Amino acid sequence: MKGLTGQDFQRLSVIYTKEGNRFLSKLSSIDSLPVIFEKLMTRAKILQPDLILGDTILGLTLEILSQHQIKGLILDVDDTLVPLQETTVSDDLQRWVDSLRLYLPIWLVSNNLSENRIGAIADNLQLPYLLGAVKPSRRKLRQAMTAMVLPPQQIAMVGDRLFTDVLAGNRLGMFTILVKPMVNPLTGGQAYPIHDFEVWVSQILGVSLHPQHYLIKPDQSSQK
């Protein structure tokens, strides 16, 4: 399975075991199934992106960001900016970053531990970066947010994964944007098994993932 690393498996198993244990403990203490179901659905809202782009990050424009009062960007790296199997930054991506950096601070926050890979990509793009973020942990996102000196609702966390990027951003009250994974031009339509699995689980939990260019969570728009 392409794109699936031992680290991914480990991370997923930790998340799912924790959630599974919590769910089982609730099941034993609450005997009303509708209540359990409602609680599960409520929890699933934390996986709901504010915006589903229906395109790679290259489709994210200044107009869309302005529309949502976004003043800063935190970007995932692997498969969001550069396909995992690729090491070089595409000209299109370089142009995209250059077109936005004039208007917004941009930080890279990656779960990847490789200084070689992430450092080289960040150097090429001339952007600040943080490694080993362990998203959905909030720690390094908070660090980037502090550096930007912006409130979380004015920062967009942009990534290709629901259980890491979107979950981490939502936990901090950031504006979360789900993008399509960047396609490797050499291999074309590669498989994204973890990505697909997360989409499948999230949809079962009631997360809406239809590509849209408008606000998905209207109940939160008034607070943001």
Show the tokens assigned to 14: 């930790």
We find the least distance from the C-beta atom of residue 78 to Mg ion, in angstroms, to be: 4
Cβ nearer to Mg ion, comparing 70 with 180: 180
Between CA 68 and CA 4 the distance in angstroms is 33
We find the least distance from the C-beta atom of residue 68 to Mg ion, in angstroms, to be: 21
* CB-CB contact of 176 with 167 (8 Å): no
Using the structure block, give the residue that is written with the tokens 């362990």.
134
Cβ nearer to Mg ion, comparing 72 with 181: 181
Cβ nearer to Mg ion, comparing 48 with 164: 164
* The pairing of beta strand 129-130 with beta strand 106-109: parallel
Cβ nearer to Mg ion, comparing 50 with 79: 79
Pure H helices in the chain: 6-29, 33-44, 62-67, 91-101, 115-125, 139-148, 167-171, 193-204, 218-221
Cβ nearer to Mg ion, comparing 50 with 160: 160
We find the least distance from the C-beta atom of residue 221 to Mg ion, in angstroms, to be: 26
We find the least distance from the C-beta atom of residue 80 to Mg ion, in angstroms, to be: 5
We find the least distance from the C-beta atom of residue 64 to Mg ion, in angstroms, to be: 20
Q: Which residues bind Mg ion (CB under 5 A)?
A: 76, 78-80, 160
Q: Which residues pair with 51 in a beta bridge?
A: 177
Between CA 149 and CA 5 the distance in angstroms is 34
- Region of residue 194 (left: phi > 0; alpha: psi -120 to 50; beta: else): alpha
